[in-house]
Amino acid sequence: MEAQLTQLKQEATEAIASVTTLDALEQLRVNYLGKKGQLSQILRGMGKLSPEERPRIGAIANEVKEALQQSLDQANHQLEKAQIAAQLAAETLDVTMPGVSRPLGRIHPLNSIIDRVIEIFLGLGYTVAEGPEIESDYYNFEALNTPPDHPARDMQDTFYLPHDQLLLRTHTSSVQIRYMEQHDPPIRVIAPGRVYRRDTVDATHSAVFHQVELLAIDRGLTFTDLKGTLKEFVRQMFGEDLPMRFRASYFPFTEPSAEVDVQWKGKWLEVLGCGMVDPNVLKAVGYDPEIYTGFAAGLGVERFAMVLHQFDDIRRLYSSDLRLLQQF
Ligand code: 2NL
């Protein structure tokens, strides 16, 4: 039995010394020192020994067990150290490697202008209103004092949908009609959005474009209030007080009406259209024109972008060419 124990110790020590993984080491532990391991199996023969021999063999067995346990602990410690070292080596980060660059996006110049216009009018106490792009003839034309034979209602100028006499809105005024139906005066509202005209696309026309309209209705509003509002708008939009002129014009929904030009970098630029709301429009939404007056204006966002950024082809705004977009 002593020889068995000595052999077991030698064999186990060698096996433990050559093991390379923690799993394999655990296997060895179970195999040699486990409940059903080789040491236990040998010790099962203790019963057959003489009472004199028993303590001696017992002591040897204990010595073998402790020696193997020590070898196992040592090997375990070494393997854990090696595993941590390998993990650290594998996860080493080379901080000198170039990073992954993500190009920064930005607001499209059209949205940027819409945002700025909204911001300015919010500051003047206006509310933003939205409405449908598919409209009825009533909201787009009839309520806006535009008679059935008006050229704007021509098939040549408006996209009519095949069913239900619907059309694609030609301006965002329809949004303001809807807003007035829902609110009592006084009102201050702006309506930004996409509008549609049946135009052949060229350098200055697009069938789909954007507009911001503003509308104020109150007791006693005059053309002077309109001028003061637009003057403040231009001052904030261009960053300085620019010379402005109002040229008499015509819109079905305003009377009187005017086109507004600003003088910028030596040139007169047409930037918006405006006027005092026609009494027929007020009547259409149930406002009494004897009590209330109002002013309105509309600006074409694309036109404004071209004036402000000084390029001359509207199609540049839609072609996603970064050489243009990255400039603004
Ligand atoms: C332009 C001119 C304009 C309006 C829009 C308006 C709306 C209502 C009542 C009266 Cl609900 N007027 N809008 C008035 C004058 C001009 O737009 O050149 N737009 C690009």
3-class secondary structure per residue, 154-199: CCCCCCECCCCCEEECCCCHHHHHHHHHHCCCCEEEEEEEEEECCC
Helices 22-33 and 53-90: angle between axes, nearest 10 degrees: 170
Q: How many domains does the chain have?
A: 2
Instruction: Report DSSP state, residue 291.
Output: T
Q: What is the pLDDT of residue 53?
A: 84
Please give the distance, rounded to the nearest whole angstrom, from the Cα atom of residue 191 to the centre of ligand 1.
11
CATH of the domain at 206: 3.30.930.10
CB neighbour list of residue 10: distance below 8 Å, 6 or more residues apart:
none
pTM of the full predicted structure?
0.71
Q: What is the pLDDT of residue 176?
A: 98
- The residue whose CA is least distant from atom 6 of ligand 1 is 296
* Residue 194 shares a structural domain with residue 157: yes
Which residue, 90, 119, 144, sits at the end of a domain? Answer: 90
Question: How large is the greatest C-alpha to C-alpha distance in the chain, in angstroms?
Answer: 131
- The residue whose CA is least distant from atom 4 of ligand 1 is 297
Q: What is the pLDDT of residue 121?
A: 98
Q: What is the pLDDT of residue 155?
A: 66
- Does any domain span residue 101? no
- Does any domain span residue 99? no
Q: What is the pLDDT of residue 4?
A: 85
* Residue 266 shares a structural domain with residue 182: yes
Mind giving me the DSSP string for 4-67? HHHHHHHHHHHHHHH--SHHHHHHHHHHHHSTTSHHHHHHGGGGGS-TTHHHHHHHHHHHHHHH
Q: Residue 53: which domain range?
A: 2-90
- The residue whose CA is least distant from atom 8 of ligand 1 is 173
CA 208 to CA 170: how far, in whole Å?
9
* Residue 26 shares a structural domain with residue 129: no
- Does any domain span residue 49? yes
In this structure, the residues whose C-beta lies within 6 A of any atom of ligand 1 are: 173, 176-177, 211, 213, 215, 251, 253-254, 272-275, 277, 281, 296-300
Q: Are 234 and 120 in contact (CB under 8 A)?
A: no
- Does any domain span residue 100? no
* Residue 202 shares a structural domain with residue 279: yes
* Residue 168 shares a structural domain with residue 295: yes
Per-residue pLDDT of the chain (328 residues; tens, 9 = 90+): 888 888 888 988 898 988 888 888 889 888 988 888 888 888 888 888 888 888 888 888 888 889 888 988 998 999 899 889 888 888 888 889 898 988 888 999 999 999 999 999 999 999 999 999 999 999 999 999 998 888 777 766 899 999 778 999 999 999 999 999 999 999 999 999 999 999 889 999 999 999 999 999 999 999 999 999 999 999 999 999 999 999 999 999 999 999 999 999 889 999 999 999 999 999 999 999 999 999 999 999 999 999 889 898 999 999 999 898 888 8
Please give the distance, rounded to the nearest whole angstrom, from the Cα atom of residue 223 to the centre of ligand 1.
14
CA 285 to CA 7: how far, in whole Å?
108
* Residue 199 shares a structural domain with residue 289: yes
- The residue whose CA is least distant from atom 7 of ligand 1 is 173
Please give the distance, rounded to the nearest whole angstrom, from the Cα atom of residue 300 to the centre of ligand 1.
11
* Residue 159 shares a structural domain with residue 16: no
**46: its two tokens:** 């203790």
What backbone phi and psi angles, to 5 degrees, belong to 269? -120, 130
* Residue 15 shares a structural domain with residue 121: no
Q: Is 255 annotated as a binding residue?
A: yes
Q: What is the pLDDT of residue 51?
A: 84
Which burial class, exposed, middle or buried, applies to 71 when counting CB atoms under 10 A from its CB (0-12, 13-18, 19+)? Answer: buried
Please give the distance, rounded to the nearest whole angstrom, from the Cα atom of residue 213 to the centre of ligand 1.
6
Q: What is the pLDDT of residue 156?
A: 67
Please give the distance, rounded to the nearest whole angstrom, from the Cα atom of residue 297 to the centre of ligand 1.
5
* Residue 134 shares a structural domain with residue 180: yes
* Residue 121 shares a structural domain with residue 154: yes
- Does any domain span residue 96? no
Q: What is the pLDDT of residue 259?
A: 97
Please give the distance, rounded to the nearest whole angstrom, from the Cα atom of residue 276 to the centre of ligand 1.
9
CA 44 to CA 2: how far, in whole Å?
13
The minimum-distance atom of ligand 1 relative to the CA of 253 is: 10
CA 263 to CA 242: how far, in whole Å?
6
Q: C-alpha angle with apex 203: 202 to 206, nearest 5 degrees? A: 55
CA 198 to CA 200: how far, in whole Å?
7
- The residue whose CA is least distant from atom 3 of ligand 1 is 298
* Residue 118 shares a structural domain with residue 77: no
Which residue, 90, 118, 149, sits at the end of a domain? Answer: 90
- Does any domain span residue 98? no
- Does any domain span residue 102? no
* Residue 53 shares a structural domain with residue 173: no
The minimum-distance atom of ligand 1 relative to the CA of 257 is: 15
Pocket probe mutation, ligand 1, options 217, 227, 251, max atoms within 8 Å of Cβ: 251
CA 252 to CA 298: how far, in whole Å?
13
- Does any domain span residue 97? no
